[in-house]
Amino acid sequence: MDEKPTGGRRLRRLLFATDRSAASRAALLAVAGLAVGGGTEVVVVHVDDRGQPEEGRRLVNDVAFGLIALAVNARPELRTAARGQVAAEIAAAAAEHASDLVVLGSSGRSDLGGLLLGSVGHAVLKGVSCPVLLVVRAGRRASGRRRRVLVAVAGDEDLTELVRTTAAVAELDAQVLVLHPAVAGGGDLQLAMSARVVEQMVAGLRRCGVRARGRIRAGGRDTAQEIGRTALGYGADIIVMGSRRLPALAALLHGSVPHGAVHQGLGQVLIGTARDAGGSPKE
């Protein structure tokens, strides 16, 4: 497989945190799409907090072998933790393996909002220093494709990190739409600032060899609603956000978007949590 001719972050090691329902086709395809060809090592981790190591070992082996069958360099790893410490153990595994990305599959919840705001998903997002990809099986379009990427920017993110992360996960022939949902009534100054943020993001992606264009939306809708509407209209396979967008993402995935927006095909959301434990940007 040809490598992407970009200056984006190279995904050398990916941590796939799986549980008894996360080995869904959607999650497997997402991981395989990011790691196929052998250039990325996938560590398939299951954290056993129920005292059932044999069942956990079978699970990680099955998931790892499934990925290997898809030409992915994968290996299983079973870890143990006390009840309530699964997220901390996932974060520890990500740090130990110097993971460039953590992938969380659905743990049986019906939507991404449940995964994000559930105790494990939310705690992992807070505990890791690398980006996190949330994956669910959502709608008939669920797949591992990342050809239409929506990047929602606020302007206070580390745009360089967000560019690198987006370029790393976008497919070779991907089209990226950079959206800045401006607050209504902000005036010409805010629109000018929004335009500059979008231009910087688009220019950075283009320097990485990614096809990108920008859009500024000013209106009365809240941020989450605008992101949801745009994602649905654009046919986005994945939404990428910086870590400062977490409140907007929570609202987006918990019903403030038009009815059915998430369930009509959106199955991947990437959160660019690019800060280490000390609060500094990750190198």
- pLDDT tens-digit series, residues 60-96: 999 999 999 999 999 999 999 998 898 899 999 999 9
pLDDT band of 231, cuts 50, 70, 90:
confident
Residues 22-44 have a mean pLDDT of 80
What integer pLDDT is reported at residue 104 of this predicted model?
84
Mean per-residue pLDDT, 217-229: 71
148-266 belongs to which CATH class?
Answer: alpha beta
Which of 100, 27, 66, 45 is CA-nearest to residue 268? 27
DSSP letter at 245 equals: G
Among 78-92, 140-154, 180-194, 262-276, the least confident range:
262-276
Strands (DSSP E) found in the chain: 13-17, 41-48, 73-80, 101-105, 132-135, 148-152, 175-183, 211-219, 238-242, 268-272
Going by pLDDT thresholds of 50, 70 and 90, the confidence category of residue 6 is: very low
Residue 158 makes CB contacts below 8 A (sequence gap 6+) with 242, 272, 274, 281
Helix (H, G, I), strand (E, B) or coil at 15: strand
**13-135 against 148-266: fold identical:** yes
CATH no. for 13-135:
3.40.50.620
Q: Domain coordinates of the chain in residue numbers?
A: 13-135, 148-266
Evaluate if residue 190 carries a pLDDT over 90: no
User: Of 192, 202, 145, 134, which is closest to residue 172 (Cα–Cα)?
Assistant: 145
Give pLDDT tens digits for 144-181: 678 899 998 887 788 898 999 999 999 888 999 999 88
> 211 pLDDT exceeds 90?
yes
* DSSP one-letter code for 50: S
Q: How far apart are CA 124 and CA 114, in angstroms?
A: 14
58 has a pLDDT exceeding 90: yes
What does the angle CA 94 – CA 96 – CA 102 come to, to the nearest 5 degrees?
10
Least confident of 25-29, 65-69, 183-187, 251-255: 251-255
Q: How much is the pLDDT for 8? A: 58
DSSP 8-class letter at 255: I
